[in-house]
Amino acid sequence: MSDLPGSAADLLPLLTRAERLLSRRVGGVLAAESLTIEAWRVLCLLADGLGHPMSEVAAEASLPPGTLTKLVDQLVDRNLVFRRVDPIDRRRIRAYLTVRGRREHERLSARIRDELAELPGDADLAARLDELIRHLDPKRRHVPVGS
Give the pLDDT confidence of 41-75 residue by residue, as tens digits.
Answer: 999 999 999 999 999 999 999 999 999 999 999 99
Give the pLDDT confidence of 83-130 residue by residue, as tens digits.
Answer: 999 999 999 999 999 999 999 999 999 999 999 888 887 778 888 888
pTM above 0.85, yes or no: no
Q: Give the whole-angstrom CA distance, residue 4 versus residue 21.
A: 24
CATH number for domain 23-140, candidates 1.10.10.10, 3.10.560.10, 3.50.50.60, 1.10.3080.10: 1.10.10.10
Confidence (pLDDT) at 70: 97
Give the pLDDT confidence of 9-44 residue by residue, as tens digits.
Answer: 788 898 999 999 999 999 999 999 999 999 999 999
Q: Give the whole-angstrom CA distance, residue 3 versus residue 37.
A: 33
